[in-house]
Structure 1
Amino acid sequence: MIIPVRFVRICAVFSVVLLLFPVLASADSKNDLVARVGSVPITRYELAREFQRILPLQGGFHGGVSKERREEIRKQALDRLVERALMVQWAIDQELSVPNEEVDAKLAKLRARYKSREEFEKAAGVEGVQGYRAALYRQLLAEKAEEERVEKQVKISEQQVRAYYEKNKDRFMRPKQFRASHILVRVDPSSNKQEREERRKRAEELLKRARAGEDFYNLAYYNSDDRTRYVGGDLGYFHVGQTVKAFEQALLKLKPGEISDLVRTRFGYHIIKLVEVNEERQLTYEEMAGKIRQQLEKEERERLKKAWLEELKKKYRVEIF
C-alpha cells in the first residue's frame, strides 16, 4: 500500500508535538512563569527549588541570609535555569527526547518517600504532579543535551596528558615524608604550676618506659591523651609543614626507630617515635597520568560548555518576566 506523502508529513508534525508536550506542559499560566527561553518555560516552582538547592551552600554558619544575599542567590538560581532552558531548546531543535520510562522511574523514586499517593500529591502543592513531571522532563532533557553536545566531545589524547606532565614536571614532586607515632600527655592551659609539674613527671615516666623497650603501641593505647591512642599513637604519613613547629624540629633530629625527648607544645607533652622516612622524589608519569587526564577533561568540558552556551544565548531569545 502506498502512503500519501502529505499523510507522512502530518504524522511527523504530530509526533513532534507529542514530543514537546512534556517540555511545554505546566506553562499555561503566565503567572507561574519567571522566564522563557525560546519556547521553554521556567516556572516559579523550578526557581524556588533551585534557590533552595543553592541556599544551604551560601548560608553562614549560624544561619540567616541577608535580603541582598538572597537576591544574589535568586539571580544565580535563575541564571542556572536559563542555561538549562537553553540546552532544552537546543535538544528540541535536535529532536532529542527522554523516554517516558526514565522520567517515570525518577518520579517513582521521589514518590516512594511518601506514605501514599495522596500525601505525594499534597506535597506537590499548586504546581501539581504533572507540573513537577514536566519540570523533571526538562531537567533530564537538558542533561541529555549536555551529554550529546559536550560530554561526547571531550577527548584527551595520551600525547596531551604526557605533554602536560613534561611541561609541569616540577609540580609533581612528593615532599619528604614521615611516619611517626606519639604519646600525648595533655596539659590543660588553665592548670596551675603544681598541676603542670605533675603532668611533666607523668610524661617523663612514660618516656622512660618507652626508652626501656616497652611496646610503644601499648604505651600509647593505655596512656596517651590523644585520640590516636586507639591506633597505638600512629599519626600515619605526613610531610614538613603539617605539624606544629616544635614537633617538627624534634622529628627532624630522629632516625627511624628512635624516640624523642619530651616535646612541649600547646597541647601538652609529646613522646615521638619516628617509624619511617621517605625522601623527596619525583612522581612518575604513571603515578600522575590518571589525575592529569581528569584535570584536562574537566577543563575541556568547561571550555566546550561555555562556548556552547554562548552560541545558544545568541541563537535563542531569553525573556525574564
Structure 2
Amino acid sequence: MIYLIIFLFLNAKILNKVVATVDGEPIFLSELNSRARPIIEEYSKIVNPEELKKKEKDIKEEILNQMIEEKLLLQEAKRKGIRVSEREVDEGIAEIKSRFKSEKEYQEELKRQGLTPSKMRENIREQLMIIKLIDMEVKSKIENPTDKELEEFYKNNKEMMWEPEKVRVRHIFIKVSSTTPKEVARKKAIKILKLAKEGEDFSELARKYSDAPSKVNGGDLGFFARGEMTPEFEKVAFSLNVGEISDIVETENGFHIIKCIGKKAREKRSFEDVKEDLRSYIFRLRFEDSYNKYIRRLRDKAVIKINEDAIE
C-alpha cells in the first residue's frame, strides 16, 4: 500500500509540473495535457503513430502559446475591472449545450476533456471576460472600410476576385496503423472498392468502413480548391467526372476511395458579388493586425517563463 501511495504522489507531482508562468501565475502540465488531448486524439485518426509522435510537441507548444495569451488577456481584464454576470454565464453554457444532441452527450464531452461542470462554468466566465476586453480594447477601435476603399481593393487585387475551380467529393479512408498493417489495409480497401463499383451506396459504405472523421457525413468533404488536400488525393479528385469513382489512392497514412459528386469551374466575381465579403475580409485583416499588436504590448509588459523540458 505504501508503494502505491508514493507512486500516486509522484505521479500527481509530474502531472502538476509547471510548464509556464505569466507574471507569477502558473500554467500546469495537467492543464496543457487536458487541452491538447482532444486535438491529439483527432490527429491519431488520420496520421500514423510515428507522425503523431512528431506532431505532439508542436501541438502542445501551440496550445501553450494560446494559454499564455489567454492568461495575459484575463489578467488585463481583471485589472480593468471587467465583470461577467451569472446570467451571461448561463447563456454561454446554454449556447454550448445547444451544439450537442442531448445533455448526456454534453456531459460525456466534459468528461472527455477532464472538466467538471463548475470548472466549465469558470472557463466560460473567463472566456466572456476576455471577449469583453477584446471588444473594448481592440474591436471597438477599428474603422469599417468605406465603399471607396472596397472599390480600390477590388481593382488592385483582381486575381483574388476569381473563384477557383473546385471539386466536391466523398471518400472512404482506410488507415494504416499498428493494428492494421499496410497490406491488410490495402486488401480491405480493394474489397470496399468492389462494393462501390458494384453500385452499393457510397455514403453508407463510408459510414460503415471509413476511418476518417468525415464518415459521419457519408465521407462528404464538401467543395475544395487545389492546394487544400494532399497532392496524391487532389490529383485524382480533380481528374474525376461527376459520379465517377476512383481506383485505390495511396497516401502517406493509408488508402482512399474517392467519388466525385460535384464540380465548379473557375469564374470571376463582380464587385457587387464580393462587396460584403471584402468588407468582412478587410475588417478581419485590420482586426488581426490590431489584436497582434495588442498582444505584443501585453507580452512586453509581462514576465513570461516557459519550462521547455516539461513539455516533452
Q: Please, what TM-score do these two structures have when normalized by structure 2?
A: 0.50
Greater length-normalized contact order (CA 8 Å, ≥ 6 residues apart): 2
